[in-house]
């Protein structure tokens, strides 16, 4: 393999796999074992960062080569600390692996910037850094990382100033359901929205406070990146649902999030110039052995469950829109799951402005989701250092791959629920 080739590991391994089955899968697919089994030959080990090591203002030196400079600066300033745990070998689904092995060879980026030949799985499991399309290929991998077929989440969105006490709390019920490019799973309805070209549907229902209660929204994200999302909003005051134009680079809930910031990057591939910066072994808040993230430190903004060494991809997104609030963002992406774990944002002067943490736990410790073989989301925190504000999602309950009928997402049904 070319020494410049970056191997991108895909989503979650079945915990019951043995090294013998690893070799069998490799022989069957003709793919390098490291693509799908990054920790099969052993967990990352670094002198001074053994499990149980405490990284803090007094002991940051041990981690200085294993944290981005912007995050290390906050540890050195005493804003938060954490303990190191052994790297978690998160299970990758057989269906996603098999789809990647079966279809990845035929995937390419067309002259119009859209994917051609993509069916399911990770579009580009191996990317060469000398490839001029390396960055945009990595962006397409983010788009098609595995969320599972459907996720339902009950959560509280909090706006938290430096005092650590929430100024505003919004209770939500959130659903994202995929209906295209699903790995075959013996379910005839798995690609139920393919005829409409809809990749996923996203539903929000505000449960509290009273002034926002029963406000609802519906988004349709299309598989073709050149198509804008369709968005509907239901207002309980008017008891009407209407189609709206939602701008990706506008603030959500008057918070530190732009609409495109959620989950690390939730916008259009076309909205950025993408540059693959390389790979790096880093400490990251992954693999928490619990169902809900713990926050602490300054403002109670930071993830303080144990961090662990992970193999990471670094991807820079430079917005193409004139007047965008960010000059760039750098996404630090877990190679095994291709999920952004933290993102560093810069203002137009090139100054570090915000840091986003997206937190994923070990399914074995998430009651009701032990069977899940895709990233299990347990919380997030966007820290805005200019506004001294944390915008945080606190998760109370999650259900993965529990089906809802297609009619659930019809605008008419949303209006009926509001009344």
| Digit-coded pLDDT (tens) for 156-181 | 999 999 999 999 999 999 999 999 99
Question: Is there a cis peptide before residue 33, judged by omega within 30 degrees of 0?
Answer: no
Q: What is the pTM of this model?
A: 0.91
Q: DSSP per residue over 194-234, as a string?
A: GGGTEEEEEEEEEEESTTTTT-EEEEEEESSTTSPPEEEEE
Domain-wise residue ranges, the chain: 1-168+256-396
* Beta-carbon contacts of residue 390 (< 8 Å; ≥ 6 apart): 158, 159, 160, 161, 256, 299, 300, 301, 381, 382, 383, 384
Residue showing tokens 């495109």: 260
Picking from 388, 349, 361, 355, the residue whose alpha carbon sits closest to that of residue 68 is 355
- Residue-level pLDDT at 24: 35
> What's 289's DSSP letter?
S
CA atoms within 13 A on the CB side of 160: 24
Bridge partners (DSSP) of residue 309 are 283
Bridge partners (DSSP) of residue 152 are 175, 399
Q: Are 378 and 290 in contact (CB under 8 A)?
A: yes
Rounded distance between C-alpha atoms, residue 403 and residue 390, angstroms: 33
Picking from 39-48, 192-201, 303-312, which range would have the lowest pLDDT averaged per residue?
39-48
Q: How confident is the prediction for the chain on average, in pLDDT? A: 89
Angle at 377 between CA 313 and CA 179, to 5 degrees: 90
Inter-axis angle of helices 19-29 and 94-103, to 10 degrees?
A: 20
- Residue-level pLDDT at 94: 85
Strand positions, DSSP E, 285-362: 286-288, 295-296, 302-303, 308-319, 328-334, 339-346, 352-361
| Digit-coded pLDDT (tens) for 233-269 | 999 999 999 999 988 888 877 789 999 999 999 999 9
Q: Are 6 and 126 in contact (CB under 8 A)?
A: yes
| Residue 390 pLDDT greater than 80, yes or no | yes
Determine how many CB atoms are found less than 10 A away from the CB of residue 54.
11
Over 109-146, what HEC string results?
ECCCCCEECCCCCCCCCEEECCCCCHHHHHHHHHHCCC
> What's 65's DSSP letter?
T
| Digit-coded pLDDT (tens) for 92-148 | 788 888 999 999 999 999 999 999 999 999 999 999 989 999 999 999 999 999 888
Q: Which helix (H) or strand (E) holds 73?
A: helix 69-76
- Residue-level pLDDT at 186: 64
pLDDT category at 188 given cuts 50, 70, 90 is low
CA dihedral 174, 180, 185, 190 (to 10 degrees): 70
């Amino acid at each position: 393999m070319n020494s410049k080739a970056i191997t991108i590991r895909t989503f979650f391994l079945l915990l019951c796999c043995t090294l013998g089955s690893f070799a069998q899968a490799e022989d069957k697919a003709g793919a390098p074992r490291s693509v799908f089994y990054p920790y099969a030959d052993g967990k990352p080990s670094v002198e001074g960062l053994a499990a149980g090591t405490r990284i803090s203002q007094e002991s940051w030196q041990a981690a200085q080569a294993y944290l981005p400079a912007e995050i290390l600066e906050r540890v050195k300033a005493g804003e938060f600390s954490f303990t190191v745990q052994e790297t978690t070998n998160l299970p990758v689904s057989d269906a996603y692996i098999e789809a990647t092995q079966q279809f990845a060879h035929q995937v390419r980026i067309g002259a119009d910037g859209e994917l051609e030949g993509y069916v399911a799985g990770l579009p580009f499991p191996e990317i060469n850094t000398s490839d001029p399309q390396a960055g945009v290929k990595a962006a397409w991998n983010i788009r098609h990382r595995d969320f599972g077929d459907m996720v339902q989440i009950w959560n509280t969105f909090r706006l938290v100033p430096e005092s650590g006490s929430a100024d505003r709390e919004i209770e939500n019920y959130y659903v994202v359901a995929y209906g295209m490019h699903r790995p075959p799973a013996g379910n005839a309805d798995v690609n139920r929205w393919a005829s409409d070209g809809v990749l996923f549907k996203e539903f929000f229902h505000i449960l509290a406070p009273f002034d926002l209660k029963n406000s609802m929204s519906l988004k349709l994200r299309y598989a073709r990146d050149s198509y804008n999302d369709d968005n509907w909003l239901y207002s309980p005051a008017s008891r009407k649902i209407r189609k709206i134009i939602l701008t990706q680079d506008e603030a959500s809930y008057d918070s530190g999030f732009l609409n495109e910031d959620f989950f690390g990057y939730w916008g259009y591939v076309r909205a950025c110039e993408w540059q693959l910066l390389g790979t790096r072994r880093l400490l990251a808040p992954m693999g928490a052995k619990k169902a809900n993230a713990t926050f602490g430190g300054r403002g109670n903004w930071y993830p303080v469950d144990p961090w662990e060494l992970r193999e990471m991809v670094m991807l820079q997104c430079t917005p193409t829109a004139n007047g965008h609030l960010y000059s760039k963002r750098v996404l630090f992406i877990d190679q095994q799951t291709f999920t952004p774990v933290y993102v560093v944002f810069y203002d137009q002067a090139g100054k570090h402005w915000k840091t986003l943490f997206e937190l994923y736990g070990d399914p074995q410790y998430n009651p009701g989701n032990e069977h899940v073989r895709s990233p299990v989301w347990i919380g997030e925190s966007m820290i805005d250092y200019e506004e001294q504000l944390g915008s945080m999602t606190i998760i109370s309950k999650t259900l993965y791959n529990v089906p809802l009928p297609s009619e659930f997402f019809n605008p008419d049904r949303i209006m009926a629920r509001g009344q």
